[in-house]
């Protein structure tokens, strides 16, 4: 096939032979330019021609290539900027002028614009190319979920109260630089002392300390409120900081209610009403079985026998695995237009309703690793059931490969939308690596 031939020619080149993954995706992007077009909408939204500065902004193709290179090499944006001039392969792959490289801020600006919805489309299109090349056939699917943590410290009521106080006075400090004569009382020192005392105190004394901290907390809210009342007289830059303070007050009020309910009244707030970080408010609490509690988001993966990830979804809240089964099947059939013959999952996905849904779609072998009650696996033979159970366990290796190989155990990108995008970029880079492994064996 043409993909194999183009890749073989690049692989014979000494530069590309050292980076076969880049050689493969370069061949794919050259043969399928519509892949770049899938992301072009995100690139042009909000883009206005500037009066000053450099006019030759990077093309969409350069941005996509830079994002792929970054993920495959596991780089930060500053490292990506360095690689432009340090690596001939990087410059050739991204298609930049080595004498006029772009800054890391430019790459971050445009890569961060690409949305998860369009990355989903790119993932599916790349998988279709793999299917046409004979790498995957959608005959056999396995499914499992994992937790990707957000980049926060372990949350406690004490630490979140202290974070709110720190953030309030950080914003007030920036505002005071823009407004002459701005006065307010700073309670940071007292709040820090109480924070450390609470950390080193056990028993009933903690309640008194929390009461003192909450009093300081209210005083901080009052200081911020008094400053915001004067914002009508502020300049444009000062208004921006004042608006951020207004948003922060809303968060502080929620945190106060949560801490007061637990630490003073001794009552538990529902998980959906809790805030686990004032910086990453989208963070969910995830408890899987009897394992440690994780703070982040559950991610559901489905892969085929080629180990390519065919479906990936970042979820909000902590839905049970059994609720993820039917949507994954529907997405795979809808995206690739083919009904799998075999479907194997962990026992957490097992239910009679899920089994009936899969059977209604035309799936022949439906195997759960563990079953309870009267539910039984559907398989053409006992041997097939055993083989599918063993094969399903390989899904854990796929997930481990993604999380360890592409730094996805903890996501450092900020905000839920960027969290989704980072997960999908990592999955796309993983799939490129898997495709390369299959094709290298064939050429």
Q: How far apart are CA 135 and CA 59, in angstroms?
A: 31
Average pLDDT over the chain reads: 89
Position 44 scores a pLDDT of: 67
CA atoms 251, 256, 257, 261: torsion sign:
positive
In terms of residues, how long is the chain? 443
Per residue in 383-421, pLDDT (tens digit) is 999 999 999 999 999 999 999 999 999 999 999 999 999
368: its two tokens:
């759960």
CATH 3.30.1330 fits 135-152+284-421, yes or no: no
Pair 306, 292: CB distance under 8 Å: no
> Which DSSP string do the residues of 311-334 spell out, in sequence order?
EEEE-SS---GGGTHHHHHHHHHH
The whole model's pTM is what? 0.90
- Which residues of the chain does CATH 3.30.420 include? 135-152+284-421
Closest residue by Cα to residue 425 from 161, 169, 118: 118
Q: How far apart are CA 6 and CA 97, in angstroms?
A: 24
Q: How far apart are CA 159 and CA 374, in angstroms?
A: 47
Helices vs strands, H then E, count in the chain = 19, 7
Closest residue by Cα to residue 422 from 121, 115, 62: 115
Per residue in 301-354, pLDDT (tens digit) is 999 999 999 999 999 988 999 999 999 999 999 999 999 999 999 988 999 999
Per residue in 92-143, pLDDT (tens digit) is 899 887 778 899 999 999 999 999 999 999 999 999 999 999 999 999 999 9
Per residue in 32-77, pLDDT (tens digit) is 999 999 988 877 655 555 555 555 688 899 999 999 999 999 999 9
CB burial class (10 A; 0-12, 13-18, 19+) of residue 288? Answer: middle
Per residue in 286-299, pLDDT (tens digit) is 987 666 789 999 99
Q: How far apart are CA 321 and CA 289, in angstroms?
A: 11
């Amino acid at each position: 096939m043409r993909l194999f031939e183009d890749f073989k020619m690049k692989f014979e080149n000494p530069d590309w032979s050292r980076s076969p993954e880049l050689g493969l995706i370069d061949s794919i992007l050259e043969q399928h330019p519509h892949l770049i077009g899938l992301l072009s909408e995100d690139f042009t939204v909000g883009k206005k021609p500037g009066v000053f500065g450099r006019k030759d902004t990077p093309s969409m193709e350069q941005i996509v290539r830079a994002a792929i290179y970054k993920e495959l090499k596991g780089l930060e944006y500053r490292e990506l900027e360095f690689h432009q001039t340090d690596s001939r392969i990087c410059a050739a792959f991204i298609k930049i002028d080595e004498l006029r490289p772009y800054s890391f801020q430019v790459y971050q600006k445009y890569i961060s614009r690409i949305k998860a919805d369009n990355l989903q489309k790119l993932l599916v299109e790349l998988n279709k190319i793999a299917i046409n090349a004979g790498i995957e056939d959608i005959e056999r699917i396995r499914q499992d979920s994992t937790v990707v943590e957000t980049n926060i410290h372990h949350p406690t009521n004490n630490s979140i109260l202290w974070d709110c106080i720190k953030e309030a006075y950080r914003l007030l400090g920036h505002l005071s630089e823009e407004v002459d004569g701005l006065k307010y009382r700073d309670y940071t020192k007292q709040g820090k002392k109480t924070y450390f005392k609470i950390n080193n105190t056990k028993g009933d004394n903690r309640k008194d300390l929390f009461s003192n901290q909450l009093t300081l907390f209210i005083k901080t809210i009052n200081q911020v409120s008094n400053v915001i009342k004067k914002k009508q007289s502020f300049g444009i830059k000062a208004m921006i900081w004042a608006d951020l303070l207004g948003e922060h007050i809303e968060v502080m009020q929620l945190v106060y209610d949560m801490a007061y309910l637990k630490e003073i009244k001794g009552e538990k707030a529902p998980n959906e009403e809790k805030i686990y970080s004032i910086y990453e408010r989208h963070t969910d609490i995830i408890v899987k079985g009897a394992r440690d509690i994780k703070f982040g988001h559950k991610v559901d993966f489905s892969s085929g026998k080629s180990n390519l990830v065919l479906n990936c979804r970042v979820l909000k809240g902590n839905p049970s695995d059994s609720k993820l089964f039917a949507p994954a099947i529907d997405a795979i059939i809808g995206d690739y237009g083919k009904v799998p013959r075999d479907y194997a999952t962990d026992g957490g996905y097992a239910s009679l309703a899920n089994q009936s849904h899969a059977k209604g779609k035309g799936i022949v072998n439906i195997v759960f690793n563990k079953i309870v009650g009267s539910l039984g696996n559907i398989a053409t033979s006992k041997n097939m059931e055993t083989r599918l159970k063993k094969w399903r366990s390989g899904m854990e290796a796929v997930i481990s490969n993604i999380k360890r190989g592409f730094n996805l155990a903890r996501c450092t990108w900020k905000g839920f939308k960027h969290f989704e995008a980072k997960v999908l970029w990592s999955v796309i880079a993983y799939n490129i690596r898997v495709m390369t492994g299959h094709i290298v064996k064939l050429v």
